């Protein structure tokens, strides 16, 4: 039952997130946003889903058919699978694995495959460029995503996300690992190619990048997977750096929900506030700033832990 | 040991079924309407010329190679990080040596201009 409950919870949360993002962006841009379907426009997501289901299920004749269908499925399934290791509250979670953190990193890399395959299988110039960009971007930011989490692993002495949460009973890891937290947030945003790191799908340059040729439910899979990804990175930021379910008075699951929602709101604010950088700036930032910073953070953390 | 991963397999199964169901529903409910224009790659209204297999910039390959170097490094760091407290200062000094070599490598790549995109 637990896997089903987690899956339903995640998909519902992601659906609500689509609505919340549109409403919040509208608020910050001084317009209404979706407010017609249901109370406060809450059913907009349902209406969109019905619309997408009845759209033509288009596989272009020039595309590589098998990979074209596989790519969105891969993106969606890996995004959902990553949630298996996220501890929502004591006893709520799919698996308490002692390699949880590694599993998350592995799934993130697998998701990148989906995007690259989509770009390649579409056999269209914009899609291919989007796929290539996303490959380069994901490789760059994954190189230091692992590094930025090593500090947490040193402090907790475990890859198990439950133990990492329990190790934060005295102080949240964001205090000793503020640099690690920031680098992880940047790497996480890049991993789910979310603004300001959405260059693989920059609509002003590449139409829609790797999913230009997708329509209907296959497009919806990319779309939903992106929101599942935002939920995932938010949940992990809460778990790794902000004490997960730990908190006074309120029940653990509420704390987890509140902290995750906080990061979701933060990511939406980033989208509203930041412009998109140029691709070379993005790559230079990754290699020349973030990588050295996370290496230095690791060494400093190591020295402080021992002394 | 293996039993604890059964829920993970269940989750994989449910997620797979979910995706396949959506794809099937979509292919049943959606109408089919083939037109010649639709059969061309989308290029903002311009007619498509040449194959889509544009030759990617060599920078992409270079990034891939750099990734292999620095991600394998991260793989070495994980076991070190998890055993860190029992390794003590000796562990830090040894890893310092490893990281200095890598940092020198990064510096070399940097000075060579491999990180510049034009």
Interface confidence, given as ipTM, is 0.81
Residue-averaged pLDDT of chain A? 84
Mean pLDDT of chain B: 81
Number of domains into which chain B is organized? 1
CB contact under 8 A, B54 and A129: yes
What Rg value do the Cα atoms of chain B yield, rounded? Answer: 25
B95 close to A (CB below 8 A): yes
Q: What is the CATH number of the domain that holds B90?
A: 1.20.58
- A-chain CB neighbours of B47 within 8 Å are none
Give the tens place of pLDDT for each residue, B5-32: 888 888 888 888 988 988 888 888 877 7
Q: Which helix (H) or strand (E) holds B77?
A: helix B58-82
Q: Name the residue among A291, A46, A85 with its Cα closest to residue A190.
A: A291
Q: Which of A205, A200, A227, A74 is nearest to A135 (CA)?
A: A200
- Please tell me the distance in Å from A268's CA to the nearest CA on chain B: 26
Q: Percent of chain A scored above 90 by pLDDT?
A: 1
Q: Give chain A positions within 8 Å (CB) of B103.
A: 292, 295
**Structural domain count of chain A:** 1
User: For the residues of A74-140, what is the DSSP string, one character each?
Assistant: HHHHHHHHHGGG---BTTBSS---TTHHHHHHHHHHHHHHHHHHHHHHHT-HHHHHHHHHHHHHHHH
Confidence of residue B37 (pLDDT cuts 50, 70, 90): confident
More confident of the two residues B27 and A183? A183
Total CB pairs under 8 A between chain A and B: 202
**B contact test, residue of A10, A74, A77 with most B CBs within 10 A:** A77
The model's confidence at residue A40, banded by pLDDT at 50, 70 and 90, is confident
Interchain proximity A157–B82, CB inside 8 Å: yes
Distances (CA, A) of A79 to A64, A192, A281, B110: 23, 10, 28, 34
Over range B98-109, report the average pLDDT: 87
Q: Mark yes or no for CB contact B115/A288 under 8 Å.
A: yes
Query: Tell me, what's the pLDDT at B50?
Result: 66
**Cβ contact (<8 Å) for B85 and A157?**
yes
Domain range holding B7?
A: 3-45+54-112
Mean pLDDT value of segment A190-217: 74
* Those residues with Cβ within 8 angstroms of residue A235's Cβ, 6 or more apart along the chain or in another chain: A83, A86, A256, A260, A263
Does any domain span residue B18? Answer: yes
pLDDT by residue (tens digit) across B42-60? Answer: 766 667 666 666 777 778 8
B118 in any annotated domain:
no
Q: What pLDDT, on a 0 to 100 scale, did the predictor assign at position A307? A: 75
Which of A122-126, B2-6, B20-24 tops mean pLDDT? B20-24
Calculate mean pLDDT across residues A186-192: 85
Predicted confidence at residue A200, as pLDDT, reads 66
CA–CA gap between residue B12 and residue B5 (Å, rounded): 11
pLDDT at B1: 61
pLDDT exceeds 70 at position A20:
yes
Query: Residue B43: which of A125, A153, A217 has the nearest Cβ?
Result: A125
Mutate to test the interface with B, among A287, A290, A293 (most CBs of B within 10 A): A287
pLDDT reported for residue A30: 86
Contact A54, B30 (CB under 8 A): yes
Q: What is the extent of the structural domain holding A261?
A: 2-306
d(CA B113, CA B108): 9
Q: What is the average pLDDT across A143-166?
A: 85
Percent of chain A, pLDDT > 70?
A: 97
B42–A284: do the CB atoms touch at under 8 Å?
no
- Residues A205 and A67: their CA atoms lie apart, in Å, by 25
Percent pLDDT > 90 in chain B is: 0
Contact yes or no for A53 and B26 at CB 8 A: yes
Asked if residue B88 is part of any domain, the answer here is yes
pLDDT score of A238 more than 80: yes
Q: Looking at beta carbons, which residues of chain A come within 8 Å of B42?
A: 124, 126, 207, 212-213
- Average confidence (pLDDT) over A142-152: 85
Which residues numbered 15-74 in B keep a CB inside 8 Å of some CB on A? 15-16, 18-20, 22-23, 25-27, 29-33, 38-44, 48, 52-54, 56, 59-60, 63-64, 66-67, 70-71, 74
Q: Is A242 helix (H, G, I), strand (E, B) or coil?
A: coil
Work out the minimum CA distance from A170 to partner chain B, whole angstroms. Answer: 18
The answer to whether the CB atoms of A303 and B29 lie below 8 A apart is no
> Whole-angstrom Cα distance, residue A122 to residue A139?
21
Tokens 């490789």 sit on residue? A139
> So what's the pLDDT on residue A204?
65
Q: Do A61 and B39 touch (CB under 8 A)?
A: yes
Residue A285 has pLDDT above 80, yes or no: yes
The pLDDT of residue B45: 67
Chain B residues inside the 8 Å CB shell of A83? 11
- Mean pLDDT for the stretch of residues B75-99: 84
| Alpha-carbon gap, residue A201 to A21, rounded angstroms | 18
B16 and A77 in contact by Cβ < 8 A?
yes
B23/A217 touch (CB, cutoff 8 Å), yes or no: yes
């Amino acid at each position: 039952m637990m896997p089903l409950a987690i899956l339903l919870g995640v998909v519902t949360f992601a659906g609500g997130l689509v609505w919340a993002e549109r409403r919040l962006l509208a608020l910050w841009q001084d317009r209404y946003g979706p407010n017609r379907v249901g109370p406060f426009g809450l059913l907009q997501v349902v209406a969109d889903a019905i619309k997408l289901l009845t759209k033509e299920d288009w596989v272009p004749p020039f595309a590589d058919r098998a990979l074209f269908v596989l790519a969105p499925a891969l993106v969606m399934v890996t995004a959902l699978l990553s949630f298996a290791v996220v501890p929502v509250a004591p006893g709520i979670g799919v698996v308490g694995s002692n390699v949880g953190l590694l599993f998350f990193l592995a799934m993130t890399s697998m998701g990148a495959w989906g995007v690259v395959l989509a770009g390649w299988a579409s056999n269209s110039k914009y899609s291919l460029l989007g796929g290539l960009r996303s490959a380069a971007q994901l490789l760059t930011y994954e190189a230091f995503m692992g590094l930025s989490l090593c500090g947490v692993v040193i402090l907790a002495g475990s890859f198990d996300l439950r133990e990492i949460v329990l190790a934060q009973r005295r102080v949240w890891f964001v205090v000793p690992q503020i640099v690690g937290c920031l680098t992880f947030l940047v790497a996480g945003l890049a991993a789910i190619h979310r603004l300001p790191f959405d260059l693989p799908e920059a609509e002003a340059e590449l139409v829609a990048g790797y999913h230009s040729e997708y329509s209907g439910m296959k497009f919806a899979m990319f779309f939903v997977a992106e929101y599942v990804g935002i939920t995932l990175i938010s949940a992990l930021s809460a778990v790794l750096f902000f004490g997960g379910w730990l908190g006074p008075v309120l029940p653990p699951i509420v704390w987890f929900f509140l902290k995750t929602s906080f990061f979701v709101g933060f990511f939406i604010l980033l989208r509203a506030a930041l412009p998109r950088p140029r691709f070379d700036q993005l790559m230079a930032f990754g290699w020349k700033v973030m990588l050295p910073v996370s290496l230095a953070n690791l060494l400093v953390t190591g020295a402080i832990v021992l002394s | 040991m293996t039993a604890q991963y059964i829920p993970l397999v269940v989750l994989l199964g449910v997620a797979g079924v979910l995706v396949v169901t959506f794809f099937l529903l979509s292919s049943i409910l959606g109408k089919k309407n083939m037109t010649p224009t639709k059969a061309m790659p989308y290029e903002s209204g311009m007619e498509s010329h040449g194959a889509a297999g544009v030759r990617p910039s060599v920078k992409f390959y270079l990034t891939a190679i750099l990734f292999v170097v620095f991600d394998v490094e991260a793989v070495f760091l994980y076991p070190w990080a998890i055993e860190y407290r029992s390794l003590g200062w000796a562990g830090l000094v040894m890893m310092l040596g490893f990281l200095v070599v890598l940092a020198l490598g990064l510096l070399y790549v940097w000075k060579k201009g491999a990180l510049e995109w034009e």
